[in-house]
Amino acid sequence: MLQKNHNRRPLRPATQMVHGGTMRSEFGETSEALFLTQGFVYETAESAEARFKGEAPGFIYSRYGNPTTRMFEERMIALEGAEDARATASGMAAVAAALQCQVKAGDHILASRALFGSCRYVIETMLGRLGVSSTFVDGRDLDQWQKGVRPETRVFFMETPTNPTLEVIDIAAVAEIAKAAKAVLVVDNVFATPMQQKPLELGADVVIYSATKHIDGQGRCLGGVILSNQDWIDENLHEFFRHTGPSLSPFNAWTLLKGLETLPLRVAQQTVNASRLADHLAGSSKIGKVLYPGRPDHPDAAIIAKQMTGGSTLLAFELTGGKEAAFRFSNALEIIRISNNLGDAKSLITHPATTTHKNLSPEVRAELGISDGMLRLSAGIEDAQDLIEDVEAALAAV
């Protein structure tokens, strides 16, 4: 039987990320074991019966739970301060499961409009087809949240900071509106990472991550996780998850578990790099505006000071020369690579208007503040000075 770590004192995040959730087998392995198994065998028919009845502990089938996957979930639970969690095959599996498991035809979802494209598709198109209606509001306008509530509103959904403009929504204020409406507030916390923002402490009911981003942080595998209180998981997610099977593979769970060990270190270095790049770019005559949650000139600086710690690993900025200048700048970079991923150890840059947000109409892009000259940069863990020299050379090429 696996032995759990029994911690005597509450541990701080950096320690939890190395030790939290570890279960050791009879061999006493140092590193967490990888249980590449679909199923489990039982000593007797009676013990199988007891396990299926829920009267004896133990795993049944890896779609329901697996020791390596559970170690990843437990470590995330410790980090987030949640009561329970389910790990999923991707961030989108987490978003789709967390929403679909709690709505039925006739229900209404109220969401912020600046969303990762696929999140908007799930809410508007997929759930729309099943008879769930939705309204999208400017997430920073509390009045719009309030006015968007209908008697049938079941779920509030938001992403903050948003992609790619890094707007910040007041989670505690929206949580209050959701509570009064008896709706469940789901927060996609990918951009903030678990190190910089704790939605559950601010009143959210459910938190979602694409673990593909900072949690892996080394470009290896997809993954996701849904965290909440025990009642919400038991009443909404548990059965949906068992019967539809969006489960994370044990191999990817193991990779993500090892990713968590270095998450605090990586996010700290990425944040230093992003902040130094933001300050450097803000001084250039070829840059219109720099959006960085952590700079005093950020439009939502007051909310950031209230609900986030330590800035961001991402920044967005606008080249005054439009698309042509943005492309020339990106093409001239030598260390920072062009890629639509984020949260990676490698610094990555993307042109949202022609990639991640190309499916939006020019009007909607304008409404979201995504101009043709805008670039989104995800800072990696390289030496900050090398990154600064890279953008300096690229600016010279514009």
Ligand X SMILES: *Cc1c(COP(=O)(O)O)cnc(C)c1O
Chain residues binding ligand X by CB under 6 A are 90-92, 95, 116, 119, 159, 163, 188, 190-191, 210, 212-213, 222, 224
**Pairing, β 133-137 against β 84-88:** unpaired
CB 72 within 8 A of CB 251: no
- Using CB positions, name the residue nearest to ligand X: 91
Query: DSSP letter at 296?
Result: T
Least distance from ligand X to the Cβ atom of residue 223, Å: 7
Alpha-carbon span 290 to 318, nearest angstrom: 7
Nearer to ligand X, 166 or 184 (CB): 166
Least distance from ligand X to the Cβ atom of residue 20, Å: 22
Nearer to ligand X, 95 or 127 (CB): 95
Nearer to ligand X, 153 or 252 (CB): 252
Q: State the residue for tokens 């903050």.
A: 160
Alpha-carbon span 313 to 273, nearest angstrom: 8
Least distance from ligand X to the Cβ atom of residue 269, Å: 20
Nearer to ligand X, 22 or 197 (CB): 197
Nearer to ligand X, 20 or 164 (CB): 164
Nearer to ligand X, 88 or 236 (CB): 88
Q: Any residues with CB less than 8 A from the CB of 22 and at least 6 apart, and which?
A: 4, 5, 32, 71
CB 313 within 8 A of CB 274: yes
Least distance from ligand X to the Cβ atom of residue 22, Å: 25
Least distance from ligand X to the Cβ atom of residue 112, Å: 11
Least distance from ligand X to the Cβ atom of residue 197, Å: 13
Nearer to ligand X, 71 or 226 (CB): 226
Query: DSSP letter at 61?
Result: B
The β-bridge partners of 318 are 374
- Comparing CA positions, the residue from 38, 380, 83, 36 lying closest to residue 226 is 83
Q: Any residues with CB less than 8 A from the CB of 47 and at least 6 apart, and which?
A: 56
Least distance from ligand X to the Cβ atom of residue 140, Å: 17
Alpha-carbon span 296 to 299, nearest angstrom: 8
Alpha-carbon span 372 to 378, nearest angstrom: 18
- Helix, strand, coil percent values for the chain (each to nearest 5): 40, 15, 40
